[in-house]
Amino acid sequence: MVNIAVFVSGSGTNLQAIIDACEKNEINGRIKVVISNRKKAYGLERAKNHNIKALWIKDEDEIIKTLQEENIELIVLAGYLAIVSEKLINLYENKIINIHPSLIPSFCGPGFYGIHVHEHAFNRGVKVSGATVHFVSTVVDGGPIILQESIDISDCKTPEEIQLKILNNIEHKLLVKAVKLYCDNKLKVNNERVEIIWEER
Query: Which is the catalytic residue, given 50, 100, 116, 118?
Result: 100
Q: Tell me whether residue 139 or residue 197 sits nearer to ligand GRF (CB atom).
A: 139
Residue 153 Cα to chain centre, angstroms: 22
Shortest distance in whole angstroms from residue 23 CB to ligand GRF:
17
Residue number with CB closer to ligand GRF (76 or 187) = 76
Q: Is the peptide bond before 101 cis (omega within 30 degrees of 0)?
A: no
Alpha carbon 167 to chain centroid distance?
12
Instruction: Provide the minimum distance between the beta carbon of 7 and ligand GRF in the complex, in angstroms, as a whole number.
Output: 10
Burial class (CB in 10 A: 0-12, 13-18, 19+), 68: exposed
Q: Which residues of this chain interact with ligand GRF, rule CB under 6 A? A: 8, 10-15, 43, 78-79, 99-101, 114, 167, 171
Instruction: Write down the least CB distance from residue 3 to ligand GRF, Å.
Output: 21
Per the annotation, the verdict on 50 as an active-site residue is: no
Nearer to ligand GRF, 99 or 176 (CB): 99
The answer to whether 30 and 22 are in contact (CB under 8 A) is: yes
Q: Are 55 and 33 in contact (CB under 8 A)?
A: yes
Q: Which residues are tagged catalytic?
A: 100
